[in-house]
Structure 1
Amino acid sequence: MKRIQYWLMCFITLLLCSCANKPISPETWLTKGVKVNLPAPHFDQVYHDQQLLTFSYNGQQHSLITMIDAQNDALSVVGLSTLGIRLFKIDYYGKVITTEQNIFIKELPSASQILSDIMFSILPIEQWQPLLPKGWQLIDTNEQRLLINEQQQTVIEIKYRQPPSSQIRKPTNIKHYIFGYQIAISSME
């Protein structure tokens, strides 16, 4: 009986350790061979949103709920299953990103890729442009944002719904042409 209790305690300890906060590098992959630093978060406005994200990849669809809180120099993202089970939490403050991965679902993008997509969609292009490779650019209109590589090919396309003029734009769709996925975004607020 003591041996079973010992192994049960070891298993619980390992499970708890796997859910601990882990710092990750503030970087993201734009393509399979191009990696850039993420800009440090800086928000002139407070941004809160609850979103239903529907990922389409390889002919399959999977959904995820995110709760996003951004203000000043901090960004926090909590990912939940559609049943409300917490999957992960990401905190980005200053130059430090910590993640807490509660449950990993291989059909969904990694927490760091979700963070990158959120940052590409809500941060001003002025914060991104100095970090992009030479020849890459972000092009903004009221309805969309395009990330263009040095060969003038679209890498990421983000579509927006028009907010009141005093608010940050909220994305409705993100399409990553290189990685082959698309995210339909519905605001739940």
Structure 2
Amino acid sequence: MGIPTPADTDALPNGPLDAATVHLCVDMQRLFAEETAWHTPWMERVLPRVRELAERFPERTIFTRFVPAQRPGEGRGNWRRYYERWACMTIEQLGAERVDLVPALAQFVPPATVVDKHVYSPWLEPGLDRLLRERQVETLVVTGGETDVCVLATVLGAVDRGFRVVLATDALCSSSDQTHDAMLTLYQQRYGQQLETATTRQILRNWT
């Protein structure tokens, strides 16, 4: 699966995490965890580590949810063709309950917060940015899926907005091992000045 081994030291490159930090968990939902066309098989394997972070800081956890089109043919531009291809993943055919967070994480809401989005990036709708500004957040600890799709869109938007971003490498998942590994290499080698990667254990030890 390509998850990096822990570093020799627990210290994070840019210092400890403080009260201006939020755990941003991307799309840990039933429509990816269950037997659907978008099933992410090893979401279940990273779930305990995502849950550990949410359990430690529920009031500082934000969950995003990817909300598909209501029915085939809806959406703007290429999204319309997308949902013609993935008609089985529209809410009309899936059922609205499949958009829910997996039960092991849904129990933390509230005090954890949920932000819905209709595309890969959570930054194209105002809810997340507004919430982070209101809370005076400076650092995002990112978990969830998929490493090479919605996590990628989330991370790049966070970098553009100047957030410190810490990726929990053992709390990320994808339906493709190959592109998951490639993305971790990309994050670590091409964004080394703007992204930090660490294990969940390292993050928890550095978050005061």
Fold match, TM over 0.5? no
Higher strand proportion, which one? 1
Higher RCO structure, 1 or 2 (CA under 8 Å, sep 6+): 2
Q: Which has the larger radius of gyration?
A: 1
The structure in which a higher percent of residues are helix is 2
